[in-house]
């Protein structure tokens, strides 16, 4: 139906979740964001949205909520670590999850769209409604901060 099989829909939802995660950097918030955007689009169009439309809706929803102060990042107090807090190796000893948390949502978003999803700066510019120069700057600054933070983390680990 509409050229979307169930596996395509699942993949679309996973991609949307990863994108939402790049914005919120919190898995529960990302789940809520995807669900909210998905249901909103279905109620409006009653058909499977395209990836770009779903991403844009997630983005708008995120920044609307953010401005209203609804998204509050928190860490669970119990020992069980949620999926989003799992770490991934970066470089020699870097914790990419912790490093990404130091970035602004716009920087994480630009890096995610470019490095993971493979969008060009122009495509990101069109999708996010930001000038291409701003997107390039966000990508550059995000990358530099990650590299800098990673290096300092490496030094700290080696000193210990």
**Candidates 51-59, 64-72, 108-116, 120-128 — which segment interacts with other proteins by CB under 8 A?**
108-116
Taking the complex as a whole, the smallest distance from the CB of residue 56 to other proteins amounts, in Å, to 18
Question: Binders of other proteins among 138-157, rule CB under 8 A?
Answer: 143, 146-147, 150-151, 154
Q: Which member of 50, 104, 116, 120 binds other proteins (CB under 8 A)?
A: 116
Contact 19, 11 (CB under 8 A): no
Residues with Cβ within 8 Å of residue 103, at least 6 apart in sequence: 111, 142, 145, 146
Q: In Å, what is the CA distance from 14 to each residue of 11, 54, 70, 129, 142?
A: 5, 12, 23, 23, 24
d(CA 25, CA 21): 5
**Candidates 59-67, 69-77, 89-97, 123-131 — which segment interacts with other proteins by CB under 8 A?**
89-97
Q: In 82-140, which ranges are E strands?
A: 89-90, 94-95
d(CA 61, CA 67): 10
Binding mask 27-56 for other proteins (x = CB under 8 A): x---x--xx--xx--xx-xxxx--------
Q: In 20-145, which ranges are E strands?
A: 89-90, 94-95
Q: Which member of 3, 22, 29, 85 binds other proteins (CB under 8 A)?
A: 22
Q: Please report, as ranges, the residues that interact with other proteins according to CB under 8 A.
A: 1, 6, 9-10, 13-14, 16-18, 21-22, 27, 31, 34-35, 38-39, 42-43, 45-48, 83-84, 86, 88-91, 94, 96-97, 100, 111-112, 115-116, 143, 146-147, 150-151, 154
């Amino acid at each position: 139906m509409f050229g979307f099989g169930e596996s395509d829909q699942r993949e679309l939802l996973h991609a949307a979740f990863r994108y939402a995660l790049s914005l919120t950097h919190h898995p529960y918030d990302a789940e809520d964001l995807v669900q909210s955007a998905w249901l909103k689009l279905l109620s409006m169009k009653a058909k499977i949205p395209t990836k770009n439309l779903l991403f844009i809706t997630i983005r708008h929803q995120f920044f609307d909520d953010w401005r209203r102060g609804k998204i509050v990042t928190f860490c669970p107090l119990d020992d069980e670590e949620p999926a989003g807090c799992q770490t991934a190796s970066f470089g020699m000893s870097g914790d990419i999850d912790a490093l990404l948390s130091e970035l602004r949502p716009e920087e994480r978003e630009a890096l995610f769209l470019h490095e993971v999803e493979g969008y060009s700066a122009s495509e990101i510019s069109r999708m996010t409604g930001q000038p291409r120069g701003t997107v390039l700057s966000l990508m550059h600054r995000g990358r530099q901060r990650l590299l800098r933070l990673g290096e300092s983390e490496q030094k700290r680990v080696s000193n210990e």
